């Protein structure tokens, strides 16, 4: 059975007090939920990671980073390395979010380096990808997604995929209130699984968790998660409220 995952990407939200409060609230609200085979993840901003890790100890919440630099260390002002993340107890990093690609120039080539660095450092990766609205309108969404995956992930060995979770996030659905229909999500997730089967075989394809991201909220989570190739969600806006995030976890 594939691992189910609900991951909250907090982006550039929540100061230290707000971070503590949100972790406390989620901790309490999920305490009694049956979460076998399910990971609950939150990704606060870098400055609050250390505190979040401490506050999430001995709970079902995993704290992960939103990004990292590919280099080991050195003259990269403002950046954070894999080793720094590991030193405060971080075990997983989100890479390739569309906001990193759009606003910070992260290319597929850079992302391939980041993924390699994370794997070499024994970090898990939640790898995000997805097409723009114009790609979908021109019916190029499958080839865009295929290219993103080939360029950033297909240099890896089969065994590396134990550490990788995929997050399909159509850019037109992120933060827009517009969600891919459950059928559109399922269609793309099945396509992605097919690509992995072709490249790495049935084992990897059937084991890898594929999350959907893009305006998931309590009202639509259950229907999206009910699709056979959707193994959970990467949640932005709705991850910032305890009640909404909890409702989405309950939906899984
Ligand atoms: C995201 O940032 O990954 C995301 C899916 O955001 P939202 O849920 O707000 O669309």
Strands (E), 30-138: 38-43, 61-63, 92-95, 124-129
- The catalytic position among 99, 106, 169, 189 is 169
Question: What confidence score (pLDDT) does residue 176 get?
Answer: 87
CA proximity to 104, closest of 74, 72, 67 = 67
Is residue 178 annotated as part of the catalytic site, yes or no?
no
Q: What residues in the chain have per-residue pLDDT under 70? A: none
Q: What residues contact 134, with CB distance under 8 A and at least 6 apart? A: none
pTM above 0.85, yes or no: yes
* CB proximity list for 123: less than 8 A, separation 6 or greater: 68, 82, 85, 86, 90, 91, 92, 93, 163
Q: In this predicted structure, what is the pLDDT of residue 1?
A: 84
| Gap between the Cα atoms of 210 and 189, Å rounded | 7
Cα separation, 194 vs 178, whole angstroms = 26
Predicted confidence at residue 179, as pLDDT, reads 87
Mind listing the pLDDT tens digit for each residue in 78-126?
A: 999 999 999 999 999 999 999 999 999 999 999 999 999 999 999 999 9
- Distance from the alpha carbon of residue 165 to the mean position of ligand 1, in angstroms: 16
**155 counts as catalytic:** no
Q: Where is 114: in which H helix or E strand?
A: helix 108-120
**Nearest atom (ligand 1) to Cα of 11:** 2
Cα of 160 from ligand 1 centre, angstroms: 26
Ligand 1 atom closest to Cα of residue 174: 10
| pLDDT at residue 175, as a whole number | 85
**CA distance linking residue 196 with residue 183, whole number of Å:** 20
Name the DSSP letter for residue 59. Answer: S
Catalytic residue among 97, 99, 106, 131: 97
- Residue 202 is predicted with a pLDDT of 97
What does the pLDDT read at residue 177? Answer: 84
Mean pLDDT of the chain: 97
Look at ligand 1, atom 4, and give the residue with the nearest C-alpha. 236
Output the ligand 1 site: residues, CB below 6 A. Answer: 9, 169, 174-175, 213-216, 234-238
């Amino acid at each position: 059975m594939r691992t189910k995952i609900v991951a909250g990407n907090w982006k550039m939200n929540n100061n230290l007090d707000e971070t503590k409060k949100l972790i406390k609230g989620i901790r309490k609200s999920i305490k009694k939920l049956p979460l076998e085979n399910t990971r609950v993840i939150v990704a606060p901003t870098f400055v609050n990671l250390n505190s979040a890790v401490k506050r999430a100890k001995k709970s079902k919440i995993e704290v992960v980073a939103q990004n990292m630099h590919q280099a080991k260390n050195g003259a990269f002002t403002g950046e954070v390395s894999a080793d720094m993340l590991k030193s405060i107890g971080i075990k997983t990093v989100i890479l390739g979010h569309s906001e990193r690609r759009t606003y910070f120039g992260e290319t597929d080539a850079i992302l391939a380096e980041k993924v390699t660095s994370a794997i070499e450092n024994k970090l898990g990766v939640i790898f995000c990808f997805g097409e723009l609205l114009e790609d979908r309108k021109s019916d190029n969404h499958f080839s865009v997604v295929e290219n993103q995956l080939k360029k950033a992930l297909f240099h890896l060995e089969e065994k590396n995929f134990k550490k990788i979770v995929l997050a399909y996030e159509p850019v037109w659905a992120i933060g827009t209130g517009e969600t891919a229909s459950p059928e559109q999500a399922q269609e793309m997730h099945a396509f992605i699984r097919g690509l992995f089967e072709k490249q790495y075989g049935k084992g990897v394809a059937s084991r890898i968790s594929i999350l959907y991201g893009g305006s998931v909220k309590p009202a639509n989570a259950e229907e999206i998660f009910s699709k056979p190739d959707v193994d959970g969600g990467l949640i932005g806006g709705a991850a910032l409220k305890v009640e909404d995030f909890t409702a989405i976890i309950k939906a899984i």
